[in-house]
Chain A
Amino acid sequence: MISTIEELVATAEKRGCKISTLVKELEAKSTGKSEEELFQRMRSFLQVMKEAADKGVSQEIRSVSGITGGEGLKMWNAVDRSLLGRTAAMAAARAMAVSNVNASMGKIVAAPTAGSCGILPGAILTVGERLSKTEDEMVDSLFTAAAVGKIIALHATLSGAEGGCQAECGSASAMAAAAVVELAGGTPRQAAHAVAMALKAVMGLVCDPVAGLVEVPCVKRNAMGAVEAILAADMAMAGIESVIPADEVIEAMKEVGCMMSYKLRETAMGGVAATPTGKKLSEKI
């Protein structure tokens, strides 16, 4: 069994294959299911991601509480004016669109959680479209993302209640960064550097949901997470390396999560949840 990013990369390098090729093979072996069955299941997930993203950029989706809504649509309408450029703006728009759908009790894929469900679709659908990749290639990249998430879950956590937002949106961003590198034709080694850089960027990020709801600041953090993933991938494919290896960054993330006060781990007692406005909104709901 592969349990570290280093093993994952080294094995893929030795075999001269993509990370996703290796992951599909290993997963088929360990679950007793065929690679085809796994692939079709992942394809159905990509489909749900795409439907949610399309919905959220084409209509104003309001949340059940009414605190958030329409961010995906607003950003989508502004992509041509974006200073960062269309790719970043579209990734951000799609990430918020999926998050909007989630907050409205619509259908999404937890990736790895519902709170961070916009990051992977935002990054992958946008980069896939930009580089004219096939649906199969996008599905493959989700396997690479899942493998990264699995390793993070093994050594740290993916839950905001345990490790803060760094563990939830941070992990989603790291998973997306690896997926983007593979989708764009980068190497497994570059994917690992992208994972490390994405996680380092949000090291210590707290989980501070206003009124305990997956809305503020979650919807907008999904946008940041998607753009950050693409930037981490760009940096890695430019040849920039993370000084600290991904596996050590994951361990550090876990340690930071342990040091974090419970007030900063999804309890809505710290961060923006504890601001005057945050409290006022909480009382209203």
Chain B
Amino acid sequence: MDIFDIIGPVMIGPSSSHTAGAVRLGNLARSILGEEPKKAKITLFNSFAKTGRGHGTDKAVIAGLLGFMPDDERIKTAFEEAHERGLQYQLFAEESGEGLHPNTVSFELEGATKKTQVTGCSIGGGRVKVTAIDGFEVELSGDYPTIITVHKDRPGIVALVTALLAERGINIAQMRVSRKKKGQEALMMIESDEKLPGEIKEVLGNIKDIYRVITFSE
């Protein structure tokens, strides 16, 4: 905790969890898609659904999808901005999302070439956590440079990836591997301490049995 966690951040109001956090979640969903979103189906759950309109949570998630930061004054007019940029969105509210964090949002996104589903929650003070990507359980803060791979669930993939990172002096801060079923697709997420070199996405993408690589830095 540094002093700018106490005074700061500069943000668009009215709520760090329901507005700033919602923008961050939209940002992360956009980064995970990896291209400009063209279509978005967004569902707000629980407290996000109940008090979202008054907190501008609906505008905030759209603003995040457009790539605006939490202190961008265009958040207030995000619906109009989305219209201008050709983002078609549908917003749904689900007040009884059982088993979900009070401030949860899920995105179904489509870009020109890619599709993704992202679920995340706003955990207070503008901090967020992505909890699922394309049906895989994850735990992603977005506070670190991030690598996500979707690959075949077989021995050796994790070792190959971590070796390539070690060669480049990249230290892993957090890491998690999850799969839906043994031997099928698995997802690995890595949060690193160091900035990611531009080539890393291609290098990892060339590994046999890695189907997809997503990288982003906040």
Chain A residues with CB under 8 Å of chain B are 23, 27, 30-31, 38, 41-42, 44-45, 48, 63-65, 101-115, 117, 120, 142-143, 145-147, 149-150, 153-154, 158-159, 161, 175, 211-215, 268, 285
Q: Is the CB of B14 within 8 A of A114?
A: yes
Residues of B within 8 A of A143 (CB): 3
Cβ-closest chain A residue relative to B77: A105
Instruction: Say whether B205 faces chain A, with CB atoms less than 8 Å apart.
Output: no
Q: Is the CB of A109 within 8 A of B10?
A: yes
B125 to chain A, nearest CB (A): 7
Residues of B within 8 A of A145 (CB): 7
In the bound complex, what is the Cα–Cα distance between A38 and B75 (angstroms)? 27
Determine chain A's interface SS by DSSP, over half rule: helix
Residues of A within 8 A of B16 (CB): 110, 113-114
**Which of A120, A143, A212 has its CB near the most chain B CB atoms (within 10 A)?**
A212
Instruction: Say whether B26 faces chain A, with CB atoms less than 8 Å apart.
Output: no
Q: Is the CB of A45 within 8 A of B12?
A: no
Chain B residues with CB under 8 Å of chain A are 1-16, 19-20, 47, 50-51, 53-56, 59, 71, 73, 75-76, 124-126
Q: Is the CB of A102 within 8 A of B7?
A: no
In the bound complex, what is the Cα–Cα distance between A109 and B71 (angstroms)? 9
Q: Is the CB of B6 within 8 A of A107?
A: no
Residues of B within 8 A of A31 (CB): 2
Q: Is the CB of A48 within 8 A of B14?
A: no
**Which of B4, B7, B55, B71 has its CB near the most chain A CB atoms (within 10 A)?**
B7
Q: Is the CB of B6 within 8 A of A213?
A: no
Asked whether A110 and B8 contact (CB < 8 A) given A105-B59, A115-B15, the answer is: yes
In the bound complex, what is the Cα–Cα distance between A246 and B2 (angstroms)? 21
Asked whether A106 and B73 contact (CB < 8 A) given A113-B16, A211-B54, A215-B14, the answer is: yes
In the bound complex, what is the Cα–Cα distance between A105 and B20 (angstroms)? 10
B12, B55, B76: the one contacting A213 at CB < 8 Å is B55
Q: Is the CB of A114 within 8 A of B56?
A: no
B1, B4, B20, B76: the one contacting A114 at CB < 8 Å is B20
Q: Is the CB of A103 within 8 A of B6?
A: no
Residues of A within 8 A of B3 (CB): 23, 27, 38, 143, 146-147, 149-150
Cβ-closest chain A residue relative to B59: A105
Residues of A within 8 A of B19 (CB): 105, 114
Q: Is the CB of B7 within 8 A of A101?
A: no
A226 to chain B, nearest CB (A): 15
In the bound complex, what is the Cα–Cα distance between A30 and B4 (angstroms)? 13
The 3 closest A-B pairs by CB, nearest first: A102-B13, A212-B51, A149-B6
Residues of B within 8 A of A153 (CB): 1, 5-6
Residues of A within 8 A of B125 (CB): 110, 113, 159
In the bound complex, what is the Cα–Cα distance between A214 and B11 (angstroms)? 14
Q: Is the CB of A48 within 8 A of B10?
A: yes
Cβ-closest chain B residue relative to A159: B124
Asked whether A108 and B7 contact (CB < 8 A) given A65-B54, A113-B125, A211-B51, the answer is: no
In the bound complex, what is the Cα–Cα distance between A214 and B75 (angstroms)? 17
In the bound complex, what is the Cα–Cα distance between A214 and B13 (angstroms)? 9
